[in-house]
A and B are shown apart, each in its own frame.
Chain A
Amino acid sequence: MKGSLLLAMLMVAPAEAEVRDRARAQSVLETARNAVKQADAKAARREEAAAKLKEAEAHFQSARYEEAAQAADGAWKLLSTSAASQPTHFTVAVDDKGSTTVTSHSGQPVRVEGQGVTRSVGPNTSMRVDKGQPPPEPRPLLGVPLPTQPANKLKLTVQPAKGGLGPVTLAWKAVEGAAGYEVELVPAQGEKRVLTASTAQLKVPLPAGAYRWSVRALAGEVRSEASPEHGFEVAEAPAKSIKLEVQPSKWK
């Protein structure tokens, strides 16, 4: 019994090592393929890197995974000198359902793996991966809307209206590719409100008080970064004086 278990373990161990080596080689190959694909056709060492990559692919096909990984790494190194000199900056955000948004801001592309699929996310692109799903194609990042109205720290005097004062118009610079916008409005007293708009402005009646607000662009499941926060104050306009003229009565 013990002998057969030992034999089974001895048979499984090399298989596990091979699976691990294969996965590692595959990952390095994917990185090298992306580097060659994204390299400028006139790049000094592109041809050399492509040849090295070809060599790595051949090793991989022959199940020489260690050699494949080494050759692919060599191809990556040949092309990465310029990109690698820049710092790589990226963001990973996980929501309550475990869905993950990966955004690359600068430097080298990052690799996103899920369900046996690897995709590359280059600078200024983003991708959202749902649990149990392979990573989709990355999308270009949405620009950040810039608030234009009311001017930052402006004190507004507005007439009473239904639901508060105003309405107050919040406006921002439209973003290319945006399907809508999300405005976050935070009163100095009270709860934060999240409002949506389909154009680059929003009219909202507000009670008197101080507010801070920011806006982000939306396109499907892609959300831009939030704009810088602006503030404004709302006060009720003083009532207009009414001139009353009382005529002397003709009655005596």
Chain B
Amino acid sequence: MNVRWSYMVFVLALGALSVGCPADEKPPPPVYEPAVPPPVRRAQLKGLQGDVKVKRAAGDEWLPAQEGMALFENDKVRTVAGAGAQIVFANGSVVNLGEDALIGIAETRPRPGQERTDLTVLRGQVNAELEDPAKQSLSVTTPAATVRAGREIVFQ
């Protein structure tokens, strides 16, 4: 008899436990965040003179530039009067940014219908130098034109 009661109490206790954790309840689905590709480093900022600021592609704030700062696609760089900076691209081509200028680092992969470019100059002057134009290339887009220097296409 005692054994039977003990058995019933055990079964009831199990039932009570299972109320808090129903067998058919599924665990919450894992939260999947969309895969964001890491930003592509395209150039480096050097030779800073005066007030130079950088705006990251994902930000709204103009940050003070720092020597050796990496520049990623869609970042923007601006200089004020009397300021200047040097942008060194991964392929070795160098662009000197003059005073009172605003430029953007272009995307690595062009959008459909757009030609490949490295740099967009919205205002001001840039001086560009390609040490080895047989191997290097540089493309500068402005509101009026696209300027290409060096080798047109580097075939594999």
Contact = CB atoms under 8 A, between A and B. Distances in A.
Contact of B149 (A19, A110, A129): A110
B20 interface: no
Contacts of A96: 123
Interface in A19-37: 19, 23-24, 27-28, 31
A90 B149 contact: yes
Interface residues of B, number: 31
The main secondary structure of chain A at its interface with chain B is mixed
Q: Which 10 A-B pairs have the closest CB atoms?
A: A98-B143, A84-B134, A114-B145, A93-B125, A100-B144, A100-B142, A110-B149, A129-B145, A88-B133, A88-B130
B152 interface: yes
A88 B129 contact: yes
A107 B132 CA distance: 10
B147 A94 contact: no
B108 to A, nearest CB: 16
A184 B87 CA distance: 29
Interface of A: 16, 19, 23-24, 27-28, 31, 69-70, 72-73, 76-77, 80-81, 83-96, 98-100, 102, 107-108, 110-114, 129-133, 135
A56 B153 CA distance: 15
Contacts of A107: 130, 133
Given A102-B145, A112-B147, A129-B144, A27 B152 contact: yes
Contacts of B134: 77, 80-81, 84-85
Interface of B: 112-113, 115, 121-134, 140, 142-153, 155
A72 B147 CA distance: 19
B125 A92 contact: yes
B142 A92 contact: yes
- Which residue, B125, B140, B145, B150, has most C-beta atoms of chain A within 10 A? B145
A3 B138 CA distance: 42
Contact of A73 (B127, B140, B152): B152
A133 B145 CA distance: 9
B127 A89 contact: yes
Contact of A131 (B140, B143, B150, B155): B143
Contacts of B130: 87-89, 107
Given A93-B125, A94-B121, A135 B145 contact: yes
11 contacts: A31-B152, A70-B155, A73-B151, A87-B133, A88-B150, A90-B128, A90-B149, A91-B126, A93-B126, A94-B143, A113-B145
Nearest to A30: B152
A70 to B, nearest CB: 6
